[in-house]
């Protein structure tokens, strides 16, 4: 396999999680009697451009199907994050009813609805029919296509270039990152701005967030690598924000390479953090597998001991990261009988691989487990707040990453 960006032959492994099904391929009861697709889940690192990437097996159209079950609006914290971003960009970029905002991977309209409310024309690009339909109900126009250079050129030729292109947690999901980036270039007005949010590789490594690895994530990104990819497409990064979302993310601000905007000091600051964190040192990547194994072993030991003691354990959040963790650890319903999730699209289905049933959160109040394992640890505070009544009745909360914590 060659690097998806620079085509250097890939020789260095980073993480091997064995075989796993796609993390968002939730199962119906009838599916349990059918064969389930598994793919190798391995990461490699390029020692030329330092792009961390999944080994080539699964195709995007197999991962992002018409009944894709991830709806961004399920998280109240994420909705607030999107609202603040919209307010910030409207003010900072001077967006008006004469402007145009395009979001790539617009999901269920969680972000663009804020621009609709402000009277700013917008367009969502979203290939999954289930989430696109939800956005359209909010009055958001949506193109149900995968984004790339050809689509961007078509929109540009129709005079639909954007003053702002937003991409939240999509850059890591694209198999052809060069084509996607050239698309950003083609769709952007001469003085326009691109913002992309993505989980920061520095945090993945520092916090042992190996459960954020799944087939839908083709790339694991640093500022250093993104700057290289942008430069190859005629773009540049002029500002960076560090965010707490998804366990630690970057929001990069991009523009055309010839744009006169000065580079913000934040860019140099993040470059230095990455250098100090060893992101261009192979030893950093070689040491990671053992750390991931310790997290997996810690969770298994906890679940087995709880079963021996006759304690009940449930989980909250049928998230993709939870599927990675449970499948790598080999957890089945004998150790974890059920998972609760607020997303109606996931309820009464089963987790891929582990076949753990997914129930509505109301079941927690009825069953009152001794422990509640929070799988989407990035919203653990939100989950604890929502389930404060359980805590008052004696339920203890558990997170497994970056190390097992019981509170």
- The DSSP line for 53-76 is EEPS---HHHHS-TT----GGG-H
Number of Cβ within 10 Å of residue 224's Cβ equals 18
Contact 337, 314 (CB under 8 A): yes
pLDDT tens-digit map of 377-405: 989 999 999 999 999 999 999 999 999 99
Q: Report residue 51 as tokens.
A: 């792009």
Number of Cβ within 10 Å of residue 61's Cβ equals 11
pLDDT value of position 30 = 97
* DSSP calls for 7-30: -PBP-EEEEEEEEE--TT--B-GG
- pTM, full prediction: 0.90
**CA atoms of 252 and 291, how far apart (whole Å):** 29
pLDDT value of position 365 = 93
Among 159, 177, 188, 157, smallest CA distance to 253 is for: 188
Contact 131, 65 (CB under 8 A): no
Among 355, 361, 376, smallest CA distance to 25 is for: 355
Question: Residues in the chain with pLDDT < 50?
Answer: 66
**CA atoms of 4 and 60, how far apart (whole Å):** 14
Q: Report residue 89 as tokens.
A: 């960009």
**CA atoms of 229 and 234, how far apart (whole Å):** 9
pLDDT value of position 59 = 57
CA distances from 11 to 14, 38, 53, 278, 402 (A): 10, 24, 12, 18, 27
pLDDT value of position 208 = 97
Domains of the chain, first to last: 72-285 (3.40.50.150), 297-406 (3.40.50.720)
**CA atoms of 180 and 221, how far apart (whole Å):** 15
SS3 163: strand
pLDDT value of position 361 = 96
Q: Report residue 354 as tokens.
A: 């582990």
Alpha helices in 233-357 (DSSP H): 265-276, 282-286, 288-308, 320-329
Number of Cβ within 10 Å of residue 135's Cβ equals 25
pLDDT value of position 34 = 95
pLDDT value of position 76 = 82
Contact 183, 151 (CB under 8 A): yes
pLDDT value of position 57 = 66
């Amino acid at each position: 396999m060659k690097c998806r960006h620079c085509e250097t032959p890939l020789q260095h492994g980073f993480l091997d999680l064995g075989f796993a099904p796609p993390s968002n391929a939730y199962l119906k009861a009838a599916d349990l009697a059918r064969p389930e697709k598994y793919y190798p889940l391995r990461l490699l690192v390029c020692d030329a451009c330092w792009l961390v990437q999944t080994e080539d097996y699964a195709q995007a159209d197999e991962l992002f199907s018409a009944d894709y079950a991830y709806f961004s609006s399920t998280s109240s914290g994420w909705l607030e994050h999107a609202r603040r971003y919209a307010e910030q960009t409207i003010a900072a970029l001077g967006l008006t009813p004469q402007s145009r905002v395009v979001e790539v991977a617009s999901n269920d309209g969680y972000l663009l609805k804020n621009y609709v409310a402000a009277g700013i024309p917008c367009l969502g690009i979203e290939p999954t029919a289930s989430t696109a339909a939800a956005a359209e109900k909010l009055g958001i126009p949506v193109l149900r296509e995968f984004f790339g250079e050809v689509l961007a050129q078509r929109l540009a030729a129709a005079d639909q270039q954007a003053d702002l292109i937003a991409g939240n947690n999509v850059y890591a999901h694209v198999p052809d990152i060069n084509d996607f980036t050239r698309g950003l270039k083609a769709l952007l007005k001469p003085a326009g701005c691109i913002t992309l949010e993505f989980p920061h590789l520095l945090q993945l490594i520092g916090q042992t967030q190996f459960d954020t690895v799944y087939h839908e994530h083709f790339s694991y990104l640093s500022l250093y690598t993104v700057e290289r990819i942008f430069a190859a497409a005629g773009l540049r990064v002029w500002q960076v924000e560090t965010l707490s979302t998804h366990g630690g993310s970057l929001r990069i601000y991009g523009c055309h390479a010839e744009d006169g905007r000065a580079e913000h000091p934040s860019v140099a600051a993040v470059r230095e953090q990455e250098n100090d964190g060893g992101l261009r040192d192979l030893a950093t990547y070689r040491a990671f597998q053992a750390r991931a194994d310790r997290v997996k072993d810690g969770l298994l030991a906890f679940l087995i001991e709880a079963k021996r003691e006759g304690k009940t354990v449930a989980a909250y959040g049928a998230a993709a990261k939870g599927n990675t963790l449970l499948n790598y650890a080999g957890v089945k319903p004998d150790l974890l009988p059920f998972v609760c999730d607020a997303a109606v699209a996931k309820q009464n289905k089963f987790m891929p691989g582990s076949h753990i049933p997914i129930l509505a959160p109301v079941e927690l109040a009825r069953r009152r487990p001794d422990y509640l394992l929070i799988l989407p640890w990035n919203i653990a505070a939100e989950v604890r707040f929502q389930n404060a009544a359980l805590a008052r009745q004696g339920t203890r909360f558990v997170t497994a990453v970056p190390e097992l914590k019981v509170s």
